[in-house]
Structure 1
Amino acid sequence: MKRIIVVIVNNESGVLNRVTGMMMKRQFNIESMTVGYTERPGISKMTFTVNVEDVGKIEQLLKQLQKQIDVLKVYDITDQEMVVRELAFVKVTAPPAIRNEVYSMVEPFRPNVIDVSRDVVTFQVVGGSEKIEAFIELLKPYGVKELTRTGTTALVRETQKMAAAPVTIL
């Protein structure tokens, strides 16, 4: 089962290494990860997607994360109502003769064209992982030249409360 874990940390050197190292030692495979600044100076947010079959293991992970230096709060937001997005850049072979065909095929996904050359178009698409996967599959017959994706980033919807109170370590 995929779980989305949010870790709020002090933005200090080595924090990412300590958090991911702890996950590695406990044999958690990180499927995706995003890290970035928050609205508060000096505070960053890490969003991890991990695949865990045993619910007990996820509880162990949360407790271990809470013990890490510079970790302020830890949430498992998997069961919350949330907004989840990824971003992908996809370079696809699209010479002028078929470019309009490619544009009409991808139009329902509302991608942005971010670069065009003689025979290649680069799209930016944002959405859930299923949308990104479907977009890539649609373009494969045209020849995907290059692909890069961000990890999952997520926010709990404002109408929801956190299921478990975060643990704050001072």
Structure 2
Amino acid sequence: MKHILSVLVENKSGVLSRVTGMISRRGFNIESLTVAPTEDETLSRMTIIVEADEVGFEQITKQLHKLVSVFKISDLTEADAIERELVLFKVLATPERRHEIIEIANVFRAKVVDVGKNTLTVEATGTPSKLDAMEDLFRGYGIRQLTRTGKIAMSRGAHDHDL
């Protein structure tokens, strides 16, 4: 099962390496990882997507709690959470077909961020399933390049225990 972990850590060098090293040493693969500073510049939030059974997931969280640089771990897998991902598509776009690609982008509330001689670069955010659907449509035109950020997640509403 895929698990979504939101991990609040110290914003200093070496923390990312310690967290990812601990997970990989136990034989788990990190499917997606995003890290960025929070509203408090001394802290960073890591969103980690990892495939593990319940026993393995429990092992990961217990080991993470032992790391000095880890302040809080939230399991957003089953929680009411907001999940988003960012993707950039560079799509083959001859001048006569550009309007079709722009229309697809508009339907998905995406935007064209660059126009090349024979390509359009489209930026989109949303759920992974939305971005997968866009990718399927753009494949018919020819995707020259694609990059995705990986999933970020946050619990919904105001929770007093959130940092």
Q: TM-score range by the shorter chain?
A: over 0.9
Structure-2 change in CA distance of 1:161 and 1:84 (3 Å): farther
Q: Secondary structure at the match of 2:78?
A: coil
CA distance in 1, matches of 2:137, 2:95: 19
The equivalent of 1:31 in structure 2 is 31
What code does the residue aligned with 2:80 have? E
- Give the distance between the partners of 2:31 and 2:131, measured in 1 at CA: 15
Q: Give 2:54's aligned residue.
A: 55
Matches within 5 A, 1:68-107: 68-107=67-106
SS at match of 2:79: coil
Q: 1:160 to 1:40 in 2, by over 3 A?
A: closer
Q: Which amino acid aligns with 1:30?
A: I
Q: Cα deviation per residue 1:100-142 (whole Å; 9 max; x = unaligned)?
A: 1222233221111100012100000100111111111110010
Taking the TM superposition and a 5 Å limit, the aligned residue runs for 1:110-121 are 110-121=109-120
CA contact (8 A) 1:85 1:153 kept: yes
> Post-superposition shift, 1:69?
2.4
Q: Is the 8 A contact 2:87 2:123 kept in 1?
A: yes
Q: Counterparts of 1:86 and 1:130 in 2: how far apart (Å)? A: 10
Distance 2:41 2:66 in 1: 22
The root-mean-square deviation of aligned C-alpha atoms, in Å, is 1.7
Q: Secondary structure at the match of 1:27?
A: coil
Structure-2 residue corresponding to 1:40: 40
Partner of 2:140, secondary structure, is helix
Report % sequence identity: 42
Alignment check: 8 A CA contact 1:81 1:160 kept: no
Which amino acid is 1:89 matched to?
A: L
SS at structure 2 position matched to 1:142: coil
What is residue 148 of structure 1 aligned with on the other side? 147
C-alpha distance in 1 between matches for 2:23 and 2:40: 26
For the 8 Å contact 2:105–2:111, the answer to whether it is kept is: no
- Structure 2: 5+ residue stretches without partners: none
Q: 1:43 to 1:159 in 2, by over 3 A?
A: closer
Distance 2:135 2:70 in 1: 36
Render the CA deviation track for 1:23-65: whole Å, top value 9, x for unaligned.
Answer: 000111111010001011210000001111x211111110100
Who is 2:129 aligned against? 130
Aligned residue pair count: 163
**8 A Cα contact 1:80 1:160, kept in partner:** no
Which ranges of 4 or more aligned residues in structure 1 deviate by more than 4 Å? Answer: 159-162
Q: TM-score, normalised by structure 2?
A: 0.94
Post-superposition CA distance 1:71-127 (Å, at most 9, x none) = 111111111101000000000011111111222233221111100012100000100
